[in-house]
Amino acid sequence: MNSIVYLVGAGPGDPDLLTLKALRLLQRADVVLHDDLVSPEILQLVHPAALIQNVGKRCGRKRITQEELHTRMIDAARTGQTVVRLQGGDPSLFGRAGEEMKALCEAGIDFEVVPGITAAFAAAASAKISLTERGLASKVVFLAAHTCQKDTVADFESGISSGATLAIYMPGQDYAGLQEKLLASGADPSTPCVITSRVSRPDENSYSTVIGELVLAPRASAPSILLVGQVSARKQILPPDSSPKSSLDQLCKVNA
């Protein structure tokens, strides 16, 4: 009776940024196990009869252990239920997807990964900049500034490059320490950067600065991301777009 477990990316928060496949799975799932970064608006799209459980694990607090999460996924799949493990952004980037895939394999449970839009892409789109640009950035480096393990220092040195845009996830609020680490890794103080908080959500906020003045930036509420590199200087300040945007609610009505 084993069913497939779907490891689904919920994107940065805006339900309009869900993939169509993710939406279809949410609307037919029997069990949805989601993390803390999944927005309430996305959870409202889940089938009303589904069992929805928050299994989030943020630094300093967690509802269940990773092993307990594995057990819930496996037990539900073995009863033939359609299980969606819903994670913010993309499952394969700074999440526990690797551990979850290993646990499912060892239990003999088939699974499928459904990608989601990660925060770096959403932040760049919101700022109207390109993460790569001819003559400015030939590569993108994904880094995590914050870890849940004490005495663990983020490695920026391997990512600092004249031809790279750094996408720094979980920058925290110790901007003085973050600035110090970037400068110690060889970053130029004049390198532009953009901090975006709660990207794609109604309360999104962003701030443009340079590494040498990062300590002066207003503290961003989580989740946030820091984009560092010459492309960040191209941030476009344009009037709000008054043209109508596509609505996921309208799409759901059309497909209903």
Residues with a known catalytic role: 35, 57
54-70 in b/e burial notation, b at 16+ Cβ within 10 A?
ebbbeeeeeebeeeebb
The DSSP-derived string for 45-101 is TS-TTSEEEE--EETTEESS-HHHHHHHHHHHHHTT--EEEEESB-TTSSSSHHHHH
The first and second tokens of residue 21, run together, are 């496949």
Task: Decide if 227 contacts 165 (C-beta within 8 A).
Answer: yes
